[in-house]
Amino acid sequence: MGGTQRLTRAVGKAKAMEMCLTGRLIDAHEAERAGLVARVLPLEQLLPEALAVAAVIAGKSLPVAMMVKESVNRAFEVSLAEGIRFERRVFHAAFASHDQKEGMNAFIDKRQPDFKDC
Query: One digit per residue, pLDDT tens: the chain, 118 residues?
Result: 778 888 888 888 999 999 999 999 999 999 999 889 999 999 999 999 999 999 999 999 999 999 999 999 888 888 889 999 999 999 998 888 889 899 999 999 999 999 986 5
- What are the Cα distances from residue 118, in Å, to 2, 46, 62, 100? 35, 32, 8, 9
Q: At 42, phi and psi to the nearest 5?
A: -65, 150
CATH of the domain at 113: 1.10.12.10
Say if residue 71 is in the same domain as residue 35: no
The pLDDT assigned to 2 comes to 78
Between CA 7 and CA 58 the distance in angstroms is: 29
**CB-based contact 35:11 (threshold 8 Å):** yes
Say if residue 73 is in the same domain as residue 25: no
Say if residue 46 is in the same domain as residue 36: no
Q: How many domains does the chain have?
A: 2
The pLDDT assigned to 118 comes to 57
The residue segments making up the domain with residue 30 are: 1-40
3-state secondary structure of 25: coil
Give, as one character, the DSSP assignment of residue 106.
H
